[in-house]
Structure 1
Amino acid sequence: MKTIIDEKNENASDNEKPVVSGGQNIAIIIGTILFPVIGIAMGYTFYRKDNPAAKKAGRNWLILGILMFIINISFVSTMK
């Protein structure tokens, strides 16, 4: 049996917007693959926020940006 408090909590979570939308997440991932600096910059920006969801997204973008940066450098160095 649901109480009034349970219904208010469910409605509050329905109205909240996510910190990072799915489209924004995909756009930053694609941008990071093409230009790693995007992931590093956006990752650092979102990692500094207080929201746990923003921190998680920022950490993921930061890691992806650093990995893509290393992969791009190693790929360019093998082309010599």
Structure 2
Amino acid sequence: MVCPRCGNANPEVAQFCGKCGTALSSRPQPADPPVPKSGVSSEMKVGMIIASIVIPVVGVIMGIVYMNSPDPDRKAAGRTWLLIGVVAFVIYCILSGALNNLMQGNT
């Protein structure tokens, strides 16, 4: 029987691994279910960047939500979205003020 921990070959009747001491079972253990990939998909990243530029509030809200995640990939994506949302909002404010000044000058 092969030890699941260290891979050492042990006699079939052994209850413990002779190398590392791990308990051996005569029944094969079920395989661990696949661990879902954490993080953020690349499609989600691109979509949120576009949404953050078009609607800055979306970037700010999603950035705050994702920055509170313990997953480092989600935190990084959240920082990016938050930054893009804030920058887009500032640019929109500047453009709005400039457009307002142009309109006031024409009347």
1:52 aligns with 2:75: no
The structure with the greater share of residues assigned to helix is: 1
Unaligned 5+ runs, structure 1: 6-14
Unaligned 5+ runs, structure 2: 6-34, 101-107
1:43 aligns with 2:63: yes
Rounded to whole Å, the distance in 2 between the matches of 1:50 and 1:42 is 15
Runs of 4+ in 1 over 3 A off after TM superposition: none
TM-score normalised to the size of structure 2?
0.59
Percent identical across equivalent pairs? 31
TM-score normalised to the size of structure 1?
0.77
Higher relative contact order (CA 8 A, sep 6+): 1
Which of structures 1 and 2 has the bigger CA Rg?
2
Query: Any residues of structure 2 matched to 1:57-76 within 5 Å, and which?
Result: 57-76=77-96
